[in-house]
Amino acid sequence: MGRTRPFPGAALLLLLAWASPGAAGGSAETLSPERSLVWGPGLHPDIVLPVRYFYIQAVTAGGRNFTHSPGKRAFRVVIKSLAKEFVRIHVPDPLDRNDGSFLVRYRMYGTGNQGLMIEVLHGDKHVAQSPYTLKGPVYHEYCDCPEEDPQAWQETLSCPDTEAQISKDFDPFPSIDLTRMLDEVPKRFADRGAIVHYTVLNNNIYRHSMGRYTDFKMFSDEMLQSLARKVRLPDFEFYINVGDWPVEHRKANDTPGPLPMISWCGSADSRDIILPTYDITHSTLETLRGVTNDLLSIQGHTGPSWSNKTEQGFFRGRDSREERLQLVHMSRKHPELLDAGITGYFFFRELEEELGKASLIGFFDFFNYKYQVNVDGTVAAYRFPYLMLGDSLVLKQDSPYYEHFYSGLKPWKHYVPFKRNLGDLLEKIQWAKDHDEEAKQIAKEGQTLARELLQPHRLYCYYYKLFENYAKRQTSKPEIRENMEHVPQPDDSSAMCQCHRKKRSKEEL
C-alpha cells in the first residue's frame, strides 16, 4: 500500500480558531461551505481506529472562523463504500462543540475493500474539498492486518517523537533484566493478587495471571489485541499491575533498585511505568457501542454556554476518600459556592444517614455548572480527563497521584489547584466568581489542551511508544513461560477481512 501524507493535528484547528477572534456567530456573515475546513485522522485510509473521527470548522464567507455554534444541524455527513460492496457503517450526527467546530465520528463493521467516499454537506453544498475519497482497502477495527513497519505506522498517525511522561518513567531503568524480573516479581507482588505477566512474541499475546483480583486484565488484553491488529509490536515481556494503586516504591538509588512494573496510575512516591488508565482505554475501544462517556462524545455534551452555567462548584461521586465527605459538609454551610453530594457509600457506610445520599445525575449534566471540583478517589479520580474535555473550569485537588497526560498540564493555565485538605477550596471558587473572564480563559485553555492530548489516535501512539521503549531496554529475549495462555484475536464473523499487507515470511520472523 502506498503511504499517504500524515494528517494535520487537532492543533491546526485550535490555531485557526484563535486566529479569527470576534468571528461570526451573531454577525451578518453567513457560513461558507467552500471556506470551511475539514481534516483529521478519519480522512486517512490507513489510520485504523475503533471509531474513526475528523473535524469540521465553520468559516464565514468573509474568511473568519465561527467561535460559537452556527447551529447543530449546520453540517451533514454521508459515508458509503465505493463500488457496490456493502459495508455497514454507523455515522451519528456531527457533534456540535459549541465553538464553531464539529466532531464527526463513524464506526465501521466491515472493511471497505474498494474504499470509502465521505461527503460533508452544508445544505446541498459540499464543504471544503468534499467529497473525500479514501482509497481501499479501509480496514475495520477487528481486521487483523498489522502494518509491518512500525515507523511508517507512527508517521501516518503523526505520533509525537517523545512523550515527557514516558521519558521520565524510564529514567530509573536504562536496562531491564528479565531474569531478575522473573525471580523477584512473584516474590514481591504476587500476594497483591492483581499482577498479570505478559509476553508478546511474533505479534501474538500470551499471559499468566497472578492472584484473585486480575479481572481487569480484560482491559489490557483488549488494548494489546487492538494494537497488535494495527501494527507489528516488538517482542517483549512485562508485568502489569491491574489494581488501583501503584506498587513499586523503591527509589532509583536503592539497593536493590526498583523493578519496572507497569500500572495505570502513578504517584509521587512510586516508580511504576504509567499507561493510560483502563477507563479511558476501554471507553476508546467501546466508543459508539453502548459506553455513555467516552473521550469523543463528551465533547458534544458540555452543557449551556459559559454565561448560562450555574455559578457553583459541583461534585457528585462515591465516598472513596474522606475529603469527599468534607465536601458535603462544606456544601451545607456554603450552598451559594458549592453543590456536593455522595451518590454511593462503600467505605463510610455509617455516615450515610448523617450526610444523605444524593441522586445520581448524568455526567453530561455536570456541565450545567461553571466550576467542576475534582477530588481523588482511591487514587487519581479517573473522571478528570472527562472534566477537562468539558467547557467548565476544573478545580483540582493537590495530589500525589497522576495519570499519563498530567505532565502536559500546568496549574493556573489549564486548571485551578486547591490544597489537599480542601482548606482553600471555597476561596478558589470565590476567586473564580470574582474573576469570570480569567476563569473562562483557564477553562478554555484546559479544554484545548485536553482535546489535543486525549485524542484516541494519541492513545495508541502512547501505548506503542511505551512498549517500544520497554522492549529496547530488555537485555534478554522474551519467552512464552510455563502456565501462560494464548490470548487470541477474535475470529468470529465480525473479524472477517482480507489483509492486503505484505506478511513477513517465517525466515524473517
Residues 228-264: pLDDT tens digits?
999 999 999 999 999 999 999 999 999 999 999 999 9
Res. 3: pLDDT tops 80: no
pLDDT digit string, tens, across residues 378-387: 999 999 999 9
Q: Which value, to the nearest 10 degrees, does the dihedral of the CA atoms of residues 25, 31, 32, 35 take? A: 30
Res. 272: pLDDT tops 50: yes
Give the range among 24-38, 63-77, 80-94 with minimum mean pLDDT: 24-38
| pLDDT recorded at residue 265 | 96
Domains of the chain: 10-141 (2.60.40.10), 164-284+456-495 (no CATH), 297-453 (3.40.50.2000)
Interatomic CA distance for residues 187 and 446, integer angstroms: 43
Res. 119: pLDDT tops 70: yes
Res. 122: pLDDT tops 50: yes
Other C-beta atoms lying within 10 Å of the C-beta of residue 335: 11
Interatomic CA distance for residues 178 and 180, integer angstroms: 5
**What number of CA atoms fall less than 13 Å from residue 119's CA on the CB side?**
12
Q: Is the peptide bond before 45 cis (omega within 30 degrees of 0)?
A: no
The pLDDT confidence band at residue 7, using thresholds 50, 70 and 90, is low
| pLDDT recorded at residue 500 | 84
pLDDT digit string, tens, across residues 86-114: 899 999 999 999 999 999 999 999 999 99
The pLDDT confidence band at residue 11, using thresholds 50, 70 and 90, is very low
- The strand pair at 95-96 and 132-135 is best described as unpaired
Proportion of the chain above pLDDT 90, given as a percent? 88
- How far, rounded to the nearest angstrom, does the alpha carbon of residue 413 sit from its chain's CA centroid? 21
- Residue 58 vs residues 27, 121, 304, 320, 322: alpha-carbon distances, Å: 13, 12, 20, 43, 46
DSSP string, 185-239: HHHHHGGGS-EEEEEEETTEEEEEEESS--TTHHHHHHHHHHHHHHBPPPPEEEE
Stretch (H or E) spanning 443? helix 436-453
Q: Which amino acid is at 124?
A: D
Whole-number mean pLDDT of the chain? 92
Stretch (H or E) spanning 132? strand 132-135
Total length of the chain: 509
| pLDDT recorded at residue 293 | 84
Beta strands in 330-484 (DSSP E): 338-344, 369-374, 393-397, 401-402, 416-418
Res. 487: pLDDT tops 80: yes
Mean pLDDT value of segment 411-418 = 98
Write a three-state SS string for 30-79.
Answer: CECCCCCEEECHHHCCCCCCCCEEEEEECEECCCCECCCCCCCCCCEEEE
pLDDT digit string, tens, across residues 163-213: 999 999 999 999 999 999 999 999 999 988 899 999 999 999 999 999 889
Interatomic CA distance for residues 205 and 490, integer angstroms: 13
Stretch (H or E) spanning 469? helix 456-473
Angle at Cα 154 formed by Cα 385 and Cα 457, nearest 5°? 25
| pLDDT recorded at residue 27 | 46
| pLDDT recorded at residue 26 | 44
Res. 18: pLDDT tops 50: no
CB proximity list for 390: less than 8 A, separation 6 or greater: 298, 302, 303, 366, 367, 372, 447
C-alpha cell at 164: 515527557
Mean pLDDT value of segment 128-142 = 97
Interatomic CA distance for residues 263 and 288, integer angstroms: 27
Q: Which amino acid is at 116?
A: L
Tell me if the pTM is above 0.95. Answer: no
CB 463 within 8 A of CB 227: yes
